[in-house]
Amino acid sequence: MDKQYMIELIESHASNPIYGFNCDVLDYTFTIEDCNAENAKKIEKLFYDYIHPSLRTNIGKFHYYIKNIESIPLVEKFYELKSSLGDNTRIQTFKDDTYHEAYFLFDRDINIFFPEECNDYFILSHKDRYYFVCKKNMNTYLLRILREIYFRNSENLGSVAYHGGGFDINENGVMVCGGKAKGKTTLILEQLKKGSNYLANDRVIISCEPNGKYMINYLPLSMRIGIGTINRTPCLSEIIDSYQWSRPQENKVLNYSYGYDQCVDEFGNAAKLEITPKEIKSIFNVSLIEAAPLNAIVFPDIDPNFEGMETLPCEPVKAAKIILEQCMTPVDENWITPWLFQRNKTNEELRIYAEEFTKNLVHDVKVYTIHFGLDAYHNWDMKLF
């Protein structure tokens, strides 16, 4: 199989005119392209539901191109070529048993990924260009490609990913970390009500700058909010069945009979409202930021049997143990294996690095446990700075 033939075959289906836009994520510029003007507008709207405004001056340090091609003949042609591509590597790419067959060709100059569960699309990468070729548009996959590039290259550059969220108080970044049903989202939303800037939910990327200062950086993701938290967040519960949500929502969430003093037992329920950063900005009237100096780490501890709120210092050894349990480098519980963008270190090398990084982090940044009961919603007062 000739390399040039593959590229020409792809490009021949990406006929002019090309419609596109640029979006910036921290040090990265992504050029997103589509041959269809109407679909390009849909993709742009999707991306700007998730992408936080960038204030950096070194935008474009890394530049990647993601091209969307809708073509049934091209998809079918590449599936016909599969048998001539040689050996493949089976990669689990997502937690829900999603696998791709990866073909690394010409010393990895060209890489092709076919999903196992269907034959509706494939992804071809060539240097800084990613082609998503589908029988029918699947625009959310383009955002997955962007996230995978940014996430994995950040790890290559020395950053570490954690299961957690973040907000900013007067240019003081706060990382919210802890296990499931501990109150991470609840704490973030209460801070947004108090005027904090929104940074991240579910995943944060922590980097260490050349001056030794830590930064907390966002990953473009939606926020998932449980029924118990919605119940005590009137700006959500009062609009939940009438708002035009960007994402499909679960019927249990939309049709629940909300009341401020109800559903104590609903904390930790698997049914979630899923909202985009743009919706968070609109509903809570806050600013979206992409990064902030990391000046505090908090472990929320929501307790229905506790009254009030207390902020307790956390010793570094205990803090490191808690944070390492939520460390997503090298193994992320959702995005199992790097695939579209390769790491430059082994899993063992990354594990050792992440452990040392975390131990240094909790010595250099103040860490607190925030213990609070359900009555704390009435008088939220978490003083950190």
* Radius of gyration from C-alpha coordinates of the chain: 22
Between CA 367 and CA 319, with CA 172 as vertex, the angle to 5 degrees is 15
363 pLDDT above the threshold of 60: yes
C-alpha torsion sign, points 244, 246, 250, 256: negative
Q: Is the pLDDT of residue 60 over 70?
A: no
The full DSSP string for 304-362 is TT--SEEEEE--HHHHHHHHHHTB-SS--SSS-S--SS--SS-HHHHHHHHHHHHHHHH
pLDDT at 59: 60
The percentage of the chain sitting over the pLDDT mark of 90, rounded to a whole number, equals 79
Predicted confidence at residue 377, as pLDDT, reads 80
Return mean pLDDT, the chain. Answer: 92
Task: Identify the CATH class of 159-222+276-379.
Answer: alpha beta
Reported as a single tens digit per residue, the pLDDT across 111-168 is: 999 999 999 999 999 999 999 999 999 999 999 999 999 999 999 999 999 999 999 9
Confidence band for 74, pLDDT divided at 50, 70 and 90:
very high
85-100 pLDDT, tens per residue?
A: 999 999 999 988 899 9
Q: Where are the domains of the chain?
A: 3-154, 159-222+276-379
- Using 50, 70 and 90 to split pLDDT, how confident is the model at 291? very high
Q: 258 falls in which pLDDT band (50, 70, 90)?
A: confident
Confidence of residue 266 (pLDDT cuts 50, 70, 90): low
Gap between the Cα atoms of 152 and 381, Å rounded: 37
Contact partners, residue 381, CB within 8 Å, separation at least 6: 309
Q: Where are the beta strands (DSSP E) in 15-128?
A: 19-25, 28-34, 62-70, 89-94, 98-105, 110-115, 121-126
10 Å Cβ neighbour count for 304?
11
The residue that leads in pLDDT, 320 or 375, is: 320
